[in-house]
Structure 1
Amino acid sequence: MPLALLALAVSAFGIGTTEFVMMGLLPNVAGDLDTSVPTAGYLVSAYAIGVVVGAPLLTALGSRIPRKRMLVLLMALFTVGNLASALAPNFGLLIAGRVLAGLPHGAFFGVGAVVASRLVSEDRRARAVATMFLGLTIANIVGVPVATLLGQNLGWRATFLVVSAIGVVAMAALARLVPQVSHEQHGGLRQELGALRDRQVILGLLTAVFGFAGVFAVYSYLASMMTEVTGFGESTVTLVLALFGIGMTLGALVAGPLTDRALRPTLYGSLAALAVTLVAFDFTVHVKWAALVSVVVLGAVGFMTTTPLQMLVMNKAQHAPTLASASNHSAFNLANAGGAWLGGVAIAAGWGWTSPTLVGAVLAVIGLAIALIAGRTDRAPAGGSRVVASSESMPQMSEVR
């Protein structure tokens, strides 16, 4: 494994930790800044807004910047955003800090996925992208629980100071380990925007919005389901979320090799498995051991969709993949927000705590339908995760000395 992938994974670990840790720190932040927990919940939305806006905006602004330098700059912005969050004297400035920390998220993963795919041979590109994503999944197993515990005992500001330190380490690793891509080989903003008009890229983004929304329709209310329906105590919620993270990691490990072998079948299979798992979860959530198994499976099949979707948009935007790759993360965050909202609507309508599972299943089926339509109308070969048309079109990378 190229060491550059380790640098990308460390960066992803920091990003994943700061993205999800706020959910566990809401009571601490609310108490410290004299606001309510529901109001403090806007901090989760603020980060998501930063991701949705920042992914296409920063990628477009940085279209002429060499990719290695762009990665370091994005991680620097991430670090500043978390430091600003740690030092925020009031709730309004903390909101601003969260937006700032979220801005580089999508752009980093977009640029990072392109770089990762070009660090290895063509038949291992999906595995390289999945390796970068492992940092995000491991953050849910280790980073988020540890950071939450740290914030609960030393104060929430300590959490963001630690994440800022991770950002500094990631910057150093990126500067030292990631190979260079010459500035002249970038396609420019016009070419990147043109790639977004490709019908297959649009369908891929729509698949991400609907398919992955099925995951967050349930994940957003997983803690409540475990306590209100399954009968676990609140102290068990951290374990449940860690199991979900373990499932995500397993999904990433499996998705890489499968996507390298057959991209679209992997996408179809993961979306279909997600729909089936969500329907089954409506029944298994009532039995403790079955609920825990289902949480792991849900994390696995849910995250198995991310690698083929990432490779698909990079494949179809082959000569200018960076903006499309980053926009895919905007799509994932729209899925997060939309899935959580629809799941909440179902609960508020009186359909019960388990109703988000069926809402999620419907969303997964819609995502699968879009993916099948895209596959049927695609005239290009879809068997592999090819990102570029030929070796001549692939930027040449030189190792840092």
Structure 2
Amino acid sequence: MTATPADVPSTEPRPTYRADGTPLSIQLFTVEGTSHGPYVGLPLRDLWTPYSAHLFTRETAELIVSDMHDDECGITAQFADDGTLTFTVDADAIEPGGTVVVRPDEYGRYEIGGLWPWDEWGDHVEHTAGQAVLARGAAEYRQADDAASVPITLRSWYADGRQEALTLTRPQRVVFFDIDPARTPLRMRPRPTGTYVRRMPTGAFECAVRPVMAGEVQAGDLIVGSFSPPMPQQEARARWSQWSVAPYAAEPAGPWDPACTCDRCRLTGELFGPAPATGRLIMARHDGKCEVWDSDDIALIVPAALRSIVLVHVAMTARPQAALPGSICQWEARDAQDNALLMFYQNGIGRVGALKDNDRWGQNEDDWVGVASFDTGRRGDNDITLEEFCRGAGILLSPSAVPMELR
């Protein structure tokens, strides 16, 4: 059963669409005779047999390998640093034994099959409530997100199934970053979407994400994730991006203080001990807790210099009146990411705020977070044009935007 070059899956990307342009449909698989899965897969053919090969994401491939090892079925598998997956068949358990090598395509998907019989996952397979909800999330990936109808304790299962199906059918190329030969390569996964992942903050775009050493992060940089830690004695092992569900702006506050009593500082000391020789720092403080990073950790950021707000909808909601000295210029707007913004100008000072909860409009100060401000120095001045306001705040007005002014 030793693989020959012809047996090794091609590195060419497999089609996601049929010849007529119709998207291929995902299917849910299990290993015949087990309760494993559901594995979200993409069949390569309209008709498949139990030993046909299907496409799976890296995450699902890892789950398949884990389940296979738990079963002690005579087949083991291991991922190499370059992403190659090698299956080894024990000749004492399954004759004649041998190896099969699976190389991911350029989108990071694995073509797995031929080593055991696949079965379609369904009601005939013994399963938990979580497995059933994951299957539903995957099956509904083309529909509106309906996680709200799922019991709250199972919503993460629904989100996982939906995300796996989306990742599988809308692949993105794996991007490699090399910032230190001792820690390469770094691999970027697409940012997940769903109920438990907040949208990127105003002015932050995924295309602007950069990996940097934590000790090099500057105030105002947006922390959007990190990378999996290196394995002991395997510094060159590939490390995968881990996206944060709640990005935050960096406000470096100096070295970590072991005497700090907040939960995160205390747990850091208990779990990881003293600071390493490279140092340990506080990236930010919010809600009474510190964000603790080792200085040589790799942070995933959107640099402050690359954050840009682009307005696509603007409506003037207040205009200064001569008879009312305290009146202001005010606009309500939406940016290119559909974030709600409030812009106002009074006494020579302009401010831009973003709604904390984009689904609930709020009038209180606590409902908003400041994202930009400027000072013209014109005290007593409450009137400004939209174009001048945008220049002062450093935000852009989309050419397609049609500002709505008060009559």
Q: Which has the higher helix share?
A: 1
Q: Which has the higher strand share?
A: 2
- TM-score tier by shorter-chain length is under 0.3
Work out which of the two has the higher radius of gyration on C-alpha atoms and give 1 or 2: 2
TM-score normalised according to structure 2 size: 0.23
